A and B are shown apart, each in its own frame.
Chain A
Amino acid sequence: MNFWFAVFRQAGRNLRQTWTSQFMTFLTVSLSVLIFAFFYLIYTNMLGAGDRLSDDLRLIVYLEDEPGPQMQQQLRRKIENFDRVKEIRFISQEEAYERFAEQLGEDSDVLADMPKNFLPASIEIVPLKSLRGYNQIKLFSEYLANLPGTEKVQYGQEWVERFYYFTRLLTIVVLLSGTLLILTATFMVAYTIRLTIMGRQDELELLKLVGATNSYIRTPFLIEGILQGFMGSIIGLLALYGLFQWISAHFAGPGLLNVFHFSFFSPVVIFLIILSSICLCSLGSYTSIRKFLRL
């Protein structure tokens, strides 16, 4: 019999003897992981959706007059003075008219009596990926509004703003829920180990007297913490995966989820969540061992 066989058997005995409190802790850890991972999953998907939507982000600068080639050069220079952009396209009044007609499709005959220059000329600017933060876009649009001959700047301000505040709120929810649930899980594990230690004082004393080494006595408690973290996170993630599958199956179709292309965690993220859970539960266990297991 070697050390690891002995301590695993001892951990098994501990789990068997205190299975009710162990089960409650296991449930707490599972629920904590489930709740945190749920918010984190929404958060990461929102970030992904934001990223995809920002690919379509365009700033439209409506101009008072159609710019000549020299003016176009000047405007281009001024725009690039702010920062490098991916693309700048000048849309003449005629081109704007044709686009609008195309968009109207069969109803384009409503434009029959309209002059071809009734729409303003504009500049379509596609910013670089590095310039797609909410504040940067806002600053950029303010800069563009002050360009000579600019009438109005549009980029779906309201939508971008709402999305920005929503992801910010989600970040706070993820951080807050994460912190609270981490504390809950760690304290629950620490408390369970403490109860186990308190309930087994006689045995621990005897083990000491018959010559058990400190690591022989301590390691089973640490294994309990690791097991709680591992099993709790696995069950929490499985429950989340089940929930994810259910939502995907029931809300599939041309709905919101399809727009956002919801996806589950990557294997790396799953591994990191399990690892974090194990580390936190081990920490809880270790704290109780240091505090209550006097050898």
Chain B
Amino acid sequence: MIEMIKVSRTYAPNIKALSDISFSIETGEMFFLIGRSGAGKTTLLKLICNMETPSNGLIEVAGYNINTLRGKNLAHLRQKIGVAYQDFKLLSNRTVAENIAIAMEVSYKNPRAIRHRVRDLLEQLQLTDKYDTITSELSRGEQQRVALARSVANSPRLILVDEPTGNLDASTTERVMSLLTRSNKAGATIVIATHDASIYQQGTHRIMELRDGNIHSLTRGGR
């Protein structure tokens, strides 16, 4: 699903966020990116969804060189990638339902199906009563769950999640992880950038640790 070959990302004036990163993620895999703050996790996710372009190297997603895609082709690929950003990127003047629905509206889903899907996701994330709440009125933890719901709403083939449990208590973390696991079992490839050891240590998924923009280790969890 994802192929990265010698990918580097340098910010001006000369700050190396990532250097010579090469790895691949199989379709249907759940993959964890770990590392300290500033290790390059968020940059890596941004490169995968083409929010940023690499300074060097090749990134292929679903067989496409994502940095050469433009216009409709890029838009269609992005519809198949769900992203839960660390800063949530919620529209603060819109309701929870509208924020989640936006991911499905761009691919012209049926309005009734959209409403049904939104209710279903909110129920899974214990946010049923927040359907019509303006997102700026939510707590950080609730906003985080809305961002996550939006990332999985369109049933994407690839889900990128940046710190999904940072503001959540243990039981909500469990709900979030079971939602992601369900999506994974339904065939979605999932990449999770996290600090939270509790969500990756028990599984047998692959874990890649970044340190100062380099791959420090690539192991399998539960060992």
B111: Cβ under 8 A from any A Cβ = yes
CB pair B109 A210 closer than 8 Å: no
CA distance A206 to B114 in the complex (A): 18
A1: Cβ under 8 A from any B Cβ = yes
Question: Which 3 pairs from chain A and chain B are nearest by CB?
Answer: A211-B79, A211-B78, A212-B106
Nearest A residue (CB) for B80:
A211
In-complex Cβ contact of A210 among B71, B78, B114 (8 A): B78
Chain B: minimal CB distance from A1 (Å): 5
Sample of 17 A–B contacts (CB below 8 Å): A1-B105, A1-B108, A1-B111, A5-B108, A6-B106, A202-B89, A202-B91, A206-B91, A209-B51, A210-B79, A210-B102, A211-B75, A211-B77, A212-B75, A214-B72, A214-B75, A216-B75
Number of A-B contacts (CB under 8 A): 58
Chain A: minimal CB distance from B194 (Å): 21
B65: Cβ under 8 A from any A Cβ = no
B49: Cβ under 8 A from any A Cβ = yes
B198: Cβ under 8 A from any A Cβ = no
CB pair B71 A214 closer than 8 Å: yes
Chain B: minimal CB distance from A75 (Å): 79
Which residues of A (99-158) have their CB < 8 Å from a CB of B?
none
B201: Cβ under 8 A from any A Cβ = no
In the complex, chain A residues whose CB is within 8 Å of the CB of B105: 1, 6
In the complex, chain B residues whose CB is within 8 Å of the CB of A210: 78-79, 102-103, 106, 150, 154
A207: Cβ under 8 A from any B Cβ = yes
CB pair B108 A206 closer than 8 Å: no
Chain B: minimal CB distance from A217 (Å): 9
Chain B: minimal CB distance from A105 (Å): 82
A203: Cβ under 8 A from any B Cβ = yes
- Given A1-B109, A3-B108, A212-B106, the answer on whether A206 and B75 have CB atoms closer than 8 Å is no
Which residues of B (68-115) have their CB < 8 Å from a CB of A?
71-72, 75-81, 83, 89, 91, 93, 102-103, 105-111, 114
Residues on A lying within 8 angstroms of B by beta carbon are 1-3, 5-6, 17, 202-203, 205-214, 216
CA distance A209 to B111 in the complex (A): 21
CB pair A206 B71 closer than 8 Å: no
CB pair A209 B49 closer than 8 Å: yes
CB pair B72 A213 closer than 8 Å: yes
CB pair A203 B106 closer than 8 Å: no
Nearest A residue (CB) for B82:
A210
CB pair B110 A1 closer than 8 Å: yes
In-complex Cβ contact of B106 among A2, A17, A216 (8 A): A216
In the complex, chain A residues whose CB is within 8 Å of the CB of B51: 209
In the complex, chain B residues whose CB is within 8 Å of the CB of A214: 71-72, 75
CA distance A2 to B108 in the complex (A): 6
Chain B: minimal CB distance from A81 (Å): 71
CB pair A211 B106 closer than 8 Å: yes
CA distance A216 to B105 in the complex (A): 10
In-complex Cβ contact of B102 among A1, A3, A17, A206 (8 A): A206
In-complex Cβ contact of A213 among B71, B111, B114 (8 A): B71
Q: Could you say which of B49, B91, B110, B154 has the most chain A C-beta atoms within 10 Å of its C-beta?
A: B91
CA distance A265 to B199 in the complex (A): 74
In the complex, chain A residues whose CB is within 8 Å of the CB of B103: 210-211
Q: Could you say which of B51, B81, B107, B154 has the most chain A C-beta atoms within 10 Å of its C-beta?
A: B107
CA distance A257 to B51 in the complex (A): 67
CA distance A3 to B105 in the complex (A): 10
Chain B: minimal CB distance from A21 (Å): 16
In the complex, chain B residues whose CB is within 8 Å of the CB of A211: 75-81, 103, 106-107
